[in-house]
Amino acid sequence: MDNISNNGIINVRVDNELKQKANDLFNSLGLNMSTAINMFLSKCINENGIPFEVKAPKPSRRLRKALKEADKMMKHPEKYKSYHNVDEMFKDILNED
């Protein structure tokens, strides 16, 4: 059994739903949260890094298209209609005078 005075304490804020799902998973594996976190930290140390790939999500095709269009608009604003406020824009969209 571990000596309680030899243990460090880590306080982490976690979304309640995430915590519950993780707790349910660990329990189904016969683990408690502390053991699972200790396993994760040990694995990080053994691999000298995060034990899984961490990368930014790839933007969707729709988002890439929108970003390209926005870039084009920023480079040539004279080709596009602009408005001073939202009311002006809606008035134009609704063809109101």
Asked if the structure places residue 89 within a domain, the reply is: yes
Local confidence band at 4 (pLDDT 50, 70, 90 cut-offs): low
The two tokens of residue 85 are: 């406020």
What would the two tokens of residue 40 be? Answer: 């994760």
Q: What is the pTM of this model?
A: 0.54
Q: Which residue has the higher pLDDT, 6 or 61?
A: 61
Amino acid code (one letter) for 81: K
Q: With 80 as the cut, is the pLDDT of residue 66 above it?
A: yes
Looking at every residue in the chain, the average pLDDT score rounds to 92
Q: Are residues 40 and 67 in the same domain?
A: no
User: Residue 23 is part of which domain span?
Assistant: 4-47
Residues 21, 27: Cα–Cα separation, whole Å: 10
Average pLDDT over residues 68-83: 93
Q: Please name the amino acid found at residue 26.
A: F
Residue 68 lies in a domain: yes
Rounded to 5 degrees, φ, ψ at 69 are -65, -45
Q: How many domains does the chain have?
A: 2
Task: Give the pLDDT score at 97.
Answer: 64
